Amino acid sequence: MIKANTVSQVREQVKKWKKEGLSVGLVPTMGYLHKGHASLVDEAVRQCDKVVVSDFVNPTQFGPGEDLETYPRDFEHDCALLEAHGCHMVFHPDVSEMYTEEIATYVENISDMPKTLCGKTRPIHFRGVCTVVSKLFNIVTPDKAFFGMKDAQQLAIIRKMVTDLSFGIEIVGCPIVREDDGLAMSSRNTYLSAEERKQALVLSRAVKLGQELIAKGEHDADKITSEMKALITEMPLAKIDYVSAVDGTSLKDTKTLKNGDLVAMAVYIGKTRLIDNFTVNCDKG
């Protein structure tokens, strides 16, 4: 596996691959990789001839008081996982390689998409996401890019960006990967104490409850999210940021759930903010 630290290294290698007629897949990550990330790499390897994974904690998507400095990092571990799953090149740049000291150009969705859900409490987050993903698309020039459905709002915003800016890249959404007990895999799970980890399971239980209600024929978004909230608040360490039902494409609030809509949540367990969601399937719940 090639370990690249500079934009020029990546561009040179990708240019060689493309001269050979090989397809290139990109998996953008912030490192501290787990089985969820591995599933993205596996899918990229399945669909593409060569796979590039970015391993970069992107500062522009963190707001004041967020966990930029403490965000977990372990590049040696990441490389071992990536090699085991068939990654061909990891791009691990310094911040100075990705951003000038006086960066003045950002990529921003000016609709309401980044203002809802996580955007209500993280107002600059998706501007940072769109900017760094755009940069990665320009650096790697992939044929396909792979993102996890756990970050459903991010995925919808990136799909919109790719359409609006004519990137010509296929965006592949990959299913949420969960621990054996149901907790959605996240690098931030390492922040949780033993008791917090136990109470965090209420997120996946809320997902299951919402799916069960839909399977029984309930389509009223307010009723479903209210019952999910009631379940979550039974946990003394849980503080709800939001539990919302939105259109799966536009992310606009919806009152009556239909196939493809999104029911998403962000919940603080102690000081750790966790997210989870499910896509509505009125046939299966």
- Kindly list the distances between the CA atom of residue 125 and the CA atoms of 37, 62, 71, 248, 252, in Å, as whole numbers in the listed order: 20, 6, 15, 19, 18
Q: Tokens representing 271?
A: 């000081």
Identity of the residue numbered 101: E
Q: Tokens representing 106?
A: 């950002």
Report the relative pairing of strands 89-91 and 50-55 from DSSP bridges: parallel
C-alpha torsion angle, residues 144, 116, 175, 238 (rounded to 10): 140
Question: Contacts for 158-163 with beta carbons within 8 Å, 24 or more apart?
Answer: 158/129, 158/130, 158/133, 159/249, 160/109, 160/111, 160/113, 161/107, 161/109, 161/130, 161/133, 161/134
CB atoms within 10 A of CB 13: 19
The answer to whether the CB of 34 falls within 8 A of the CB of 120 is no
| DSSP codes joined into one string, 191-260 | G--HHHHHHTTHHHHHHHHHHHHHHTT--BHHHHHHHHHHHHTTSTTEEEEEEEEE-TTT--B-SB--TT
Q: Tokens representing 116?
A: 């809802």
Among all residues, which ones are annotated catalytic? 37
Phi-psi region of 15 (alpha: psi -120 to 50; beta: other; left: phi over 0): alpha
